[in-house]
Amino acid sequence: MLMAMAKPSVSELWLRPCGRVPLAPRLRLVCFPHAGGTAQAFRSWPERLPPGTGMFAVQYPGRQDRFSEPLIDDIDGLTGPLVAALEPFVGEPLVLLGHSMGAFVAYETTVELERRHGRVVDQLVVSGVCPPHRKPPHQVHRQSDEALVADVRRVNASFADLLANPELMRVLLPMIRADYRLSETYRRDEPVPVEARLLAAGGIEDSEVGRQGLLAWSSCAAGHFEVLVQPGGHFYLFDDADAFTASLAERLPGGALWSPAG
């Protein structure tokens, strides 16, 4: 008799462990990928983080081991199940980090977790984007495949090279368009401040957001707020993961730059 496969929990469905996660982690760091990104983007980080850190990365539907699932192109469709995936960690030290599109998803997830449970996210790290009430309007998701690929190339030439392969393009382009649609249609007219400590980070050569755009995230902070700018472009945190994770480690709970009163 064949045994039925156990259905994964909502946490197992949405969150991928990065490396070996301690049984009782000192803190949990959950990372939200950029448009077109996957949980694999953060695979090299655990070895660079302080001992005792349990690291997870979000796996959005429609890619890698979730390829057969429908793509989600609106932010509510992501934040609802992600809140459910993170609720088992409520009461434990928790840090959410999102890059580019992932920053919007991490922010909205924090807003909803706090609405339900109060201050349960110790720190929110948003990277590579302006806050939702300051983001400029774009409609690239409505344009032709050629225009979409050109914009991908502008931001991430190495990813655009994959799209030169017709077979990969047929697989990847719908995912990228859905992510662009999510990012470009998402907006808040007024910021909602979060109680979590807020760190806005970016690359000094990033054409997507400058220092003033990062500073604008201060409107989304009810308490401690900091800006971190490092060398590099839009993907500075992956291009020099050693530098970014070192700066991040200092700012994580228990790090050299962390103050409990903040």
If one compares 167 and 189, the residue with the highest pLDDT of the two is 189
pTM: 0.92
* Averaged pLDDT for residues 136-148: 74
pLDDT band at 1, cuts 50/70/90? very low
Tell me: the pLDDT tens digits for 48-80?
Answer: 998 899 999 999 999 999 999 999 999 999 999
Distance CA 106, CA 108 (A): 6
Backbone angles phi and psi of 39, in degrees to 5: -60, -25
More confident residue, 186 or 208: 186
Residue 225 and residue 208: Cα distance in Å, rounded?
A: 21
The reported pLDDT for the residue numbered 260 is 66
Residue with tokens 């991040």: 248
Q: Is 11 exposed, middle or buried (0-12, 13-18, 19+ CB in 10 A)?
A: middle
Q: Residue 118 carries which side chain, given as an amino acid letter?
A: G
Per-residue pLDDT at 235 exceeds 50: yes
Q: Which of 83, 38, 44, 80 is nearest to 61 (CA)?
A: 38
| Rounded distance between C-alpha atoms, residue 206 and residue 229, angstroms | 10
Q: Tell me the pLDDT of the chain averaged across its residues.
A: 89
In the structure, what pLDDT confidence band is assigned to residue 254 with cuts at 50, 70 and 90? confident
| Amino acid (1-letter code) at residue 219 | S
Question: Which tens digit of pLDDT belongs to each residue from 82-99?
Answer: 999 999 999 999 999 999
Residue type, 15: L
Q: Is 90 helix (H, G, I), strand (E, B) or coil?
A: coil
Which of the four pLDDT bands, split at 50, 70 and 90, describes residue 261? Answer: low
Catalytically active residues are: 100, 234
Q: Does the pLDDT of residue 153 top 80, yes or no?
A: no
